[in-house]
Amino acid sequence: MRVVLTGGGTGGHIYPALAIGRDIKEREPDSSFLYIGALRGLESRIVPQQGIPFEAIHITGFRRSLSFENVRTVMRFWQGVRRSKALLKKFKPDVVVGTGGYVCGPVVYAAAKLGIPTVIHEQNVVPGLTNHFLSRYVKGVAVSFAESKPHFAKCPDVVHAGNPCASAVLRADRKQGFASLGLAPETPFVVVVGGSGGAKALNEAAVRMSPALSALPDVHVVIVTGERFYEETKARIEGLASSSQSRIHVLPYLHNMPEVLAAASLVVSRAGASLVAEITAIGVPSILVPSPNVTNNHQEPNARSVADAGAGEMILERELTGDALFERISAIMGDSDRRAAMSKASRSLGMPEAAAAIYEQIRRVTRQQR
């Protein structure tokens, strides 16, 4: 199979595309890939590192306020469509798969106009602007959350597949998660993580609750700060939490996040779609603090979906304090029956076979084209 992957701007769009590509390659080793991304997007650095041929188009996103820059964006969109058509005619794909982000728009639209089968994947409960636009043209839509399906009523083939990033975490070595943190197997621990770049609000709450952690003598806390917040956060915690310092692990970044998540008793994090997919795939209870600084506030519906199922709790950032966070952590970690129930509910939301479901949809729309 010849496949064009497209999606970018953030890892939340890029990593699902790469996961779909890996699954196709495992099933059909002779497959060929081309990734089309933005000239200055994060994907222009990540994708070539994975050994996938990469081509770029120049495109920018719409501004939500009235601006002459939006006129330029429309012009770049049509230029991107022309460039995409040229790349597609040269590569001759059997299918084009888009995972969102503004770069996905001209590529998938161009493919649809050329009669090439197209599938898009939506990671969040509330669809992004690009995927909402493309849903009128594509042959298939795969969604991570069941609540997303009504948004794609105009598409003939909508599948609740889950997020393909979840598949990788299922293969994680749980024992290695404990070992990498220097913990004995089955040591109860909480992970506080704000994403690859860290989250200042989560770090601040972790610092302020650190003195109270002495009240949880058997629980370790792993705080993943992000590189830019590491030194300050570590120094402040060392100054405040002397009595529980040996059980607080402050790290700038985790290179083995799947293994650590697989071993964790509780995760405190933002509510990005990929991380939500990972924690529900393995059934980890969570406390989710959706970022208010994302397009359409899309993390809040993600977090609410988990909370409504009893798989986690949600704290809005404006309500996040050290005391509030410690109270939630203490209540969950102090009640093993409740934690088990949350874990069961979390696992019920997980879609570990997401990549397989998307693959079947891809095969279905390509067969229909013949």
Give the three-state DSSP class for 184.
coil
Both 104 and 216 in a single domain? no
Both 181 and 134 in a single domain? no
pLDDT single digits (tens) 122-163: 999 989 889 999 999 999 999 999 899 999 988 889 999 999
What CATH code is carried by the domain that includes residue 273? 3.40.50.2000
Both 97 and 151 in a single domain? yes
The answer to whether 299 is a known ligand-binding residue is: yes
DSSP 215-279: G-TT-EEEEE--GGGHHHHHHHHHHH-GGGGGGEEEES--TTHHHHHHH-SEEEE---HHHHHHH
Both 195 and 107 in a single domain? no
The answer to whether 196 is a known ligand-binding residue is: yes
Find the angle CA(315)-CA(320)-CA(323) to the nearest 5 degrees: 110
List Cα–Cα distances, 239 to 21, 52, 165, 205, 329, in angstroms: 47, 47, 38, 15, 22
Both 140 and 45 in a single domain? yes
Q: Which structure tokens are listed for 39? A: 């000239």
One-letter amino acid for residue 218 of the chain:
D
Give residue 207's domain range: 169-349
The answer to whether 163 is a known ligand-binding residue is: no
Which H helix or E strand runs over 36?
strand 32-38
Both 150 and 211 in a single domain? no
Both 241 and 344 in a single domain? yes
The answer to whether 10 is a known ligand-binding residue is: yes
**How do the pLDDT tens digits run along the chain, 370 residues long?**
999 999 998 888 999 999 999 999 999 999 999 999 998 888 999 999 999 999 999 876 655 555 556 567 678 889 999 999 999 999 999 999 999 999 999 999 999 999 999 999 999 998 988 999 999 999 999 999 989 999 998 888 999 999 998 877 888 899 999 999 999 999 999 999 987 788 999 999 999 999 999 899 899 999 999 999 999 999 999 888 666 778 999 999 988 999 999 999 999 999 998 899 999 999 999 999 999 988 778 899 999 999 999 999 999 999 999 999 999 999 999 999 999 999 999 999 988 788 899 999 999 999 987 6
Both 336 and 363 in a single domain? no
The answer to whether 6 is a known ligand-binding residue is: no
Torsion angle of C-alpha atoms 180, 185, 189, 193, degrees rounded to 10: 30
Cβ-based neighbour number of residue 26 at 10 Å? 11
Both 191 and 278 in a single domain? yes
Both 184 and 282 in a single domain? yes
> Into how many domains does the chain fold?
2
The answer to whether 11 is a known ligand-binding residue is: yes
Both 311 and 249 in a single domain? yes
Both 155 and 238 in a single domain? no
- Helices and strands of the chain, counted as H and E runs: 15, 13
pLDDT single digits (tens) 201-243: 999 999 999 999 989 989 999 999 999 999 999 999 988 866 6
Q: What pTM does this model have?
A: 0.80
